Every structure is written in structure tokens, then in C-alpha cells.
Structure 1
């Protein structure tokens, strides 16, 4: 007779995850929230998710959800509670504010039924953080926000119209969402000073890096290039993911204009896609591709010669792109056109998977791309280091285990506080 599996601190718990982004979204924080909730659905008593309507990265509500105000789905063992919200087709401070207000209003007016044992909120959504804090406070249960982006800093650094005026309001909402948290998770240590500046005791901050949420490439690289129409002797520079303001993707359009011999590929969607198309009019060597299907995604990344991560020069401590974990697993070298002192630069240095160039400098970016495209051995070494970094530090199993430990610690802290109050 085999021994029963050991019970864990989370075994009989009901967990609520608050995340504005969730499956079927394939990029950004949606895949992380999805895999986390499905993991807890398989290992705890019950997992619920309070989320919005799928809209990212296109910033258009998916067709099947248009006109839907409220719905509950069952996906991967998870009870997914969706609430309607405004989706801004273009990003300004006012439009972003309306987005957050509708997420906040519908989340507070129609929370999931029942009492959770703990609430975990994925932020950058300010409203999601506030909703999570309010639900946890109402039920007197542990609350653990996870900071994926710092929105106050983002408003100031990303170049969004009216962002300077919105930064203080965003920081105030973040302060509210974080101040009474049992523990606060951050995906990179570069966020710690910003979280501390919002009034969080550093003793309550834990680093929980994102993991790679995709499988490694499987298809023949030459066959994928042929299918995509990429010539064997043409260097291909690919950027995948959101096309927003903070990415500063104008630098890739300018590089394409400087180098007609290099094929530049922008794969994904976002509120700046239209502006980038207009800016690139007449460039025969710049392609726009829709987001690749999940089963094809890393094969397309691996077919490129160089993968680009770009940010505006002003972006320092508010974001570490989730695309990096997918880039690393693809086994291709990364060129990062980002500020030297930011978290993105630190992650590229730590992985050893790429090279850094100054942000918003297409000539410097072009030099790095040409060098890597010409030196196959160097490109292979960098790509191999990225894959090894993922295997050692960013596996899904390791990432989910870190979140299990974070939540178990929060629950244990709550039990300790309850015992202390009873003795008093």
C-alpha cells in the first residue's frame, strides 16, 4: 500500500487571484496568472480568478466577449470570473484612468462569491491591486500583491500623453494597494527601492521572478525561415510582444531605414502598431506579423538571427519585459537597446545571453546586429547561455515553487498573528 501524498500548507485552501489579464491572452502577464491559478487549482481546495475581458496586446476586446458584462467560466480547473471594463484603443493618461476606474468599479461591485483563504493580486493593474486589497480586508485574510510593473514610475517614464500629471495619482493607488499587504512579491530586485518608496517595509518584500511560460523550439530552423519568406543570407532582427509607448520601437523603424540589407520584423500587437506602420511606410525590409500561435511561437523566435528588446531611454525601474524569458528559451542572442542602469539591462547581463547598446540609438543597434549576424559562433554561445539560464533559474517548476513558498509564508504569518492576538 503506497503512502499518501504529504499535505502542504496550501492543501485545503481557497485562493483568489486578481489579475486584469488572463487566458486566452498569450503575452504579457496573462500567461503567468493563468499558469499560477491552474497550478493552485490542482494543488489546493479551490482557485478562483477575478479578471477582465481578454484584450491584450491588441487593446481590443476579443470578439466573443464583446457586449458581455459578467460571466463565470471554468478553465483548467479554475473558476474564472470576468467583469466588463473599458478598453482604450489609444493610450493617454485619461483613457488609462477610465480603464482602471471601470476595472475597479466592477471588481468591487461584483466580487466572486465565497470567502477566500488568501488573495493574490497581479499588478500592474492599479485597480486590480486595490480590489485585491479590499477583498482581503473585507474577509480578514492574507493579501499578497505581486508587482510586475510600477505604474507610478511607468506614467512618468513611458511617454504616455499626460503621464506626468498621472504619476502621483498612480503612485497613491499603488501605495494603498501595497501598504497593508501581508507580503509583497516583486519580479525583479530592481523594483525593491520603488516599492520601499511607497512605504513598504523591506522585511515584507520577496523576489519572485517570472518563469518561462513557453516550450523550447522544436521545428527545423531553415524550414521555419523558408515558410516565413526569410532568405537564408539575410540577417533577421525580430521584436516580439507589445507595441506600446514604453517599448520605443521607433528605433527599429529607424534601423530598417539605415540598413536595407537587414530584415526587421515586428511580431505582435499594441496601441502603437498603427503609428509604427505609418512611420515605416515605404520600407520593404520591415514586416509586421500578428502574434504567433502558442505552438509556433518559439519556433519563430528561433528562426531569427537576433532578438531585440527595446525601451525608451527614460524607462529605468518600472518594468522588466516578460518577453525576455521567451527570448532566452529560444536559444537566439538578444540585443537590448535599453538604459544601462535599469532592471532589463541587469537581467540581460545576468543571463549572459545578449549585448547592451544605448537606447534610442539605431546606429549602435545596427552595429551589434550586424556583428552577431556575421559571427555565428558568438551568436550561438550567447543563445546557449540564455537557454542554460532558463534551465537553471527560470523553469516553470522553480517559479511556481517560489509562489507556493510566498503564499505559505503569508498564511503562516496570518496564523501567527492570530495566535498572538488570542494570547493577548
Structure 2
């Protein structure tokens, strides 16, 4: 098949789903064309080695990647973020008709910025069978995401966008949802229930895999021979890292909390940590992707924290499949699908989101679990990943949906 992929995020940005899907489909003999922007996430600056221009195209084997210009911004400003989304929508709307001419099916990696292009996608999907992979709940709630930890989600600027988005979902041949509750959301918005399929996100299995912790990794996270819980990822408005800091401060004698990564809320989190006197909390900044597996394996648990928002109850963040693939038990301060996945697989512990007292109890329990029971939990984490969300399973399902979409034209 000749397959098009439209995605706002794409490697070398941390966007493993569209990148691995494109590579795997090309490896399976398909001709794949990717349309994306110049990489700038998460810092909001174009990566070294790239220069913004109208377009740049690179072909390797059966995979072609075209990058188009967009306004790079990923900070806390709603105006600048929407400008980035709108500029991407404009660029792809101009480039897509000719670039995707002749393809058999189109895959849309549905991040918020891609959703902004709903009107243009609607016109394109009328000519090309389209499969959309829904990742974020907020467009379906008809709200813009919050820009700080204390700000509520804002209403979208116009009802016209909401209507265009609904029409687009109704026009697609298939919708893959990355969390169980998203199925209900897209059906409520008018999608054909028979065309909605659950395809949980996979992770980079070359990086996130079970392994014995190295001495260097233990030293890198400052492991000092007691229970160590790691938070790895973005520190933004959705993550509510404040909950973990307050919980850690009250249980400082039991375990260490290591935070890997950065984000718009990092400075605020550091100030709060100092105010609380949380001496068991360490910030170690961003680390290269190829180091993360060792860091995961050097910790005893991975932490997931989320805000208590209805739009997040139908979301499973990318750090969950990464942790499970690495065989790392998860402590989750989250509701909805994330908590259900961890509890059903008996792959960790969970509590209500944004409840630091409940999380402190989970931290204390995690610290008290004997080594043998923790190892069994680790094995169940790995089994949960292989059973429910592996790369092979996910790509198989997307490939089948694209094949069905292409056959619908005949």
C-alpha cells in the first residue's frame, strides 16, 4: 500500500508512536510518506542540524519524510501554542493535497495541533480513506488545555472548530483510541461505534526493556540503598508534580524520589521542594533517551501523577507503557484508565489523583513491600505490556485498519 502519515510530532522529537509506525510499515513493504514539522519539542527551539524553511524532504528506502514550516512554541503561553498549532495546520493544508496524491490510506496521529487542521483534514478525508489515532482527550471535551498548574482548561475559541472536528471524526473510515474511555468519548461525539478500535500505545522496546541495574545508573540517580521511586517525563500542568512533592516530604525517612526531565512547572516544583524541606527529593534534569532504560532499572518504581480532570481519566500517558515494558512497577496518582490498567495487571499501586495524603500512604506501602513481592510485581508489569500494548500488536492493528480503509475505495 501507499500510506500517508500526518503528525505534528515526529522523531527526533520524543514521538515514538508515529516514528516507529512509519518505520515498521516501510519495513513491511509499504510505501510510506510522512508529513510533519521541523523538530522543536519540548524546548520550543528548532533542533540543531535543522533550519526552518518551507519544506525539506528526505527519502530512505520506502520511507519519505517531508517537514514543513511552523511556529515553534511549547511554553505556557496559550497564544503562542495556538499560533504553533495554527501555523502547522496552514502549512500542512497547503502541502498535503499534492504530497499525499495517490496514496491508498492516510494515518493521522491526533495531537491537538493536528486537530486544529480539522477543516482541511475533512476535505482531504473525503478523497482519501483516513484512520485517526486519538491521543489527547481535550479536543473531544471541546476545551483547550491548561497552561499552568493552577489554570483550568479554557473553552475553545469558536464553536466552528468543535463542529469541524465532529464532522472530521464522522468522515474517517476508522478511529483508533489509545485508552478505553476514549472510545466512549468519540462515540458520544458522533463517531460510528463499529469503526472505533482500542489500540493502546506501545513504547520503544529497544530502549525500555528489563535489565539488571548498572552501578553507573544507580550512581546517576543517587541511589543510596533504600527504596527509590522515579518520576521521568514532562513536568507540566497536566502532571501535577506538586502532589508527589508534598507526599514525599511527609515520608522523607522511608524512600527517595528522583525526578528526571523538565517542563514548565519545574521551577515552581523546585521552589516548593525547598519550602517543604523535602530532603529525599532530587532533580537530575533531562537525560538522553538511550540512558533512560538504565535509569528505569536502577529505580524500584516509576511514578505517574496526573491532574484530577475528566479529560485525563481517558488518558494513558506514554510513561506507563515505557515503565511496564521495562518491567518496572508503577505508583500512580491518577484516575480512570491509567489506574485501571495498573490495578488490573497487579503491576503497581494507585490512589486518587491530586490527593497527596493518599499518595503518601502509597509511597509508604511501596517502601514496605519485600524484595520478592516487588520482583513478582515487576514480572506482572512486563507481562501486562506484552499482553496489552506491544509494538508488534499495535502496528498489526493499525496496518489492518489502514488495509480495510484502502479496500473501502474499491
TM-score by length of 2: 0.88
Task: Measure the CA separation in 2 of the matches of 1:18 and 1:288.
Answer: 35
Corresponding residue for residue 241 of structure 1: 233
| Alignment-derived partner of residue 203 in structure 1 | 194
Cα root mean square deviation, aligned: 2.5
Within the candidate set 296, 299, 308, 2:291 is matched to 296
The 5-angstrom pairing of residues 251-262 of structure 1 reads 251-261=243-253, 262=255
Instruction: For 1:322 and 1:76, locate their aligned partners in 2 and report how far apart those are by CA, in whole Å.
Output: 29
1:280 equivalent in alignment to 2:273: yes
Match of 1:308 in 2: 303
Q: Using the alignment, how far apart are the partners of 1:63 and 1:201 within structure 2? A: 43
Runs of 4+ in 1 over 6 A off after TM superposition: none
Structure 2 match to 1:7: none
Residues 165-204 of structure 1 mapped to structure 2, 5 A cutoff? 165-166=155-156, 169=159, 171-204=162-195
Alignment of 1:404 onto 2:389: no
Contact 1:187 1:207 in 2 (8 A): yes
| Cα distance, 1:199 vs structure 2 | 1.1
In structure 2, distance between residues paired with 1:76 and 1:252:
46
Per-residue CA deviation, residues 223-243 of structure 1 (Å, 9 max, x unaligned), is 144331523423222111222
Contact kept in structure 1, 2:6 and 2:108, CA below 8 Å: yes
Q: Deviations over 1:144-168 (max 9, x none)?
A: 1110112235674954447332287
Map 1:13-412 onto structure 2 (within 5 A): 13-26=1-14, 30-74=15-59, 77-111=62-96, 113=99, 114-125=101-112, 126-127=115-116, 130-137=119-126, 140-153=127-140, 156=143, 159-160=146-147, 161=151, 163-166=153-156, 169=159, 171-215=162-206, 216-217=208-209, 220-221=212-213, 223-261=215-253, 262-281=255-274, 283-315=278-310, 316-339=312-335, 342-375=336-369, 376-412=371-407
CA distance in 2, matches of 1:59, 1:154: 26
Give the SS at the match of 1:269. Answer: coil
Aligned equivalent of 1:419: none
Distance 1:386 1:225, change over 3 A: same
Q: In 2 relative to 1, CA 127–378 (structure 1 residues): closer, same or farther, beyond 3 Å?
A: same
- Could you tell me how far apart the structure 1 residues matched to 2:326 and 2:287 are? 14
Deviations 1:195-227 (A, max 9, x none): 012111112212222223233446541514433
Deviates more, 1:358-367 or 1:195-204: 358-367
Structure 2 CA distance, aligned partners of 1:223 and 1:232?
12
CA gap of 1:56–1:303, structure 2 versus 1, over 3 A, is same
CA distance in 2, matches of 1:172, 1:273: 36
Q: Is the 8 A contact 1:94 1:162 kept in 2?
A: no
Aligned residues: 396
Q: 1:226 to 1:192 in 2, by over 3 A?
A: closer
Q: CA deviation at 1:88?
A: 2.8
Native 8 Å contact 1:32 1:210 kept in 2: yes
- What is the TM-score of this pair, normalised by structure 1? 0.85
Query: CA 1:198 to 1:171, structure 2 compared with 1: closer, same or farther past 3 Å?
Result: same
Residues 332 and 380 of structure 1 are in contact (CA less than 8 Å); yes or no, is this contact kept in structure 2?
Answer: no
Structure 1 287/295 Cα, relative in aligned 2: closer, same or farther at 3 Å? same
Tell me the distance in 1 between the aligned counterparts of 2:346 and 2:252. Answer: 29
**258 and 400 in structure 1: CA distance in 2 versus 1, 3 angstrom threshold:** same
| 5+ residue gaps, structure 1 | 1-12, 416-424
Query: Is the alpha carbon distance of 1:307 and 1:102 closer, same or farther for their aligned partners in structure 2, counting shifts above 3 Å?
Result: same
CA displacement 1:122-174 (0-9 Å, x = unmatched): 1123135554443333xx22111110112235674954447332287564453
Superposed CA offset, 1:319-347 (max 9, x none):
221211111022222111012xx121222
